[in-house]
Amino acid sequence: MKTIMIFLAAVLSAHAAFAQNHFEQAVKWYGKRAEGAVGYKAASEPISNAIEHFKKAMTEPEKELEAGTYLMRSYVYKGRFVLEDEDAKREVFAKAKAVGEQLVPKYPNDKELRFENLTAIGLWGERLGIFKAAREGIADRVKTEIEKFVSLDTEFRNAIGQRALAVLHLMAPKIPFIMSWPDKDFALEMTHSVVARYPNDIGNNFFYAMALTKHDRDDEAIPYLKKALSMKPHPEYLLEDRHFHMRAEKLLSKLKDS
């Protein structure tokens, strides 16, 4: 009996070491995800290697949540900054969404997990087309997920949850009898509140400017776009911020030409 227990302990220890090793390798690859990037286009190898190691690390219960959250984040990153084909993007966002469906019921109060989950659902839904997403209830689901996330922590990552809710209201169409809740006035008020609290965030400035343009207040939007473009991308969100810069440049050019 003692021999069996020693054997089981050794097996469990080996499994834990296996998961830990893969997790450490995955984090190293994830840390290299922007190496060699051109603009906001990333090389495939670092994030693809991170994904493979996170998938293996997730098999160990003690690493399931942390590795799973990173795995979703890695799928989203690959879909946004590596892949170009829309079908391939939708497929990888669906993989991230599937991980969320597995983990969120087990860890409903984990903020990092819930943020990655709502991001995956939202990006997957976008690839279906905004009207199809509305008709199939995906936009309603995203709204519910964001509201649950905001209830956990209003100020998470410079109020990114409130910003996401505002942007959803800003971009989603009103469809009689299907989706009546989108409110562009709410979006303007919320993006203004967020940028007032966190004025040194590139995304907050960009989305407040976008909300202003939706209210035909282009002259007021221009200073916020210029401010977004004046800020250096955050090292942790290098490609994300470069992408915001690209969008801000396009919107600013459009406003100046109008």
Residue 114 located in a structural domain: yes
CATH number at residue 72: 1.25.40
User: Domain containing 26: what range?
Assistant: 19-30+42-128
Looking at residue 61, what is its pLDDT?
Answer: 93
Asked whether residue 152 is assigned to any structural domain, the reply reads no
| Residue 78 belongs to some domain of the structure | yes
pLDDT digits (tens, 9 = 90+) for 84-123: 999 999 999 999 999 999 999 999 999 999 999 999 999 9
Q: Tens of pLDDT along 193-239?
A: 999 999 999 999 999 999 999 999 999 999 999 999 999 999 999 99
Q: Is residue 250 part of a domain?
A: no
Q: pLDDT category, 17, cuts 50, 70, 90?
A: low
The H helix count followed by the E strand count for the chain is 12, 0
What mean pLDDT is predicted for residues 43-47?
A: 97
The predicted pLDDT at position 12 comes to: 46
Give per-residue pLDDT as tens, 174-192: 888 888 999 999 999 999 9
Distance CA 195, CA 193 (A): 6
In a domain, 144, yes or no: no
What is the arithmetic mean of pLDDT over 31-50?
A: 97
pLDDT per position as a tens digit, 135-183: 788 889 999 999 999 999 999 999 999 999 999 999 988 888 888 999 9
In 3D space, the residue among 152, 189, 149 whose CA is nearest the CA of residue 167 turns out to be 189
Confidence of residue 4 (pLDDT cuts 50, 70, 90): low
Asked if the structure places residue 256 within a domain, the reply is no
**Residue 66: partners with Cβ closer than 8 Å, 6 or more residues away:** 23
Q: What is the pLDDT of residue 195?
A: 98
Taking the C-alpha atoms of residue 214 and residue 188, their distance in angstroms, rounded to an integer, is: 9
Number of domains in the chain: 1
Q: Round the CA-based radius of gyration of the chain to a whole number and report it.
A: 21
Amino acid 1: pLDDT: 56
- The pLDDT score that the predictor gives to residue 96 is 98
Q: Using N-to-C axis directions, what is the helix angle for 238-257 and 202-214, rounded to 10°?
A: 30
**Per-residue pLDDT, 2:** 58
Residue 50 lies inside a defined structural domain of this protein = yes
* 11 confidence band (pLDDT: 50, 70, 90): very low
Q: Is 213 within the bounds of a domain?
A: no
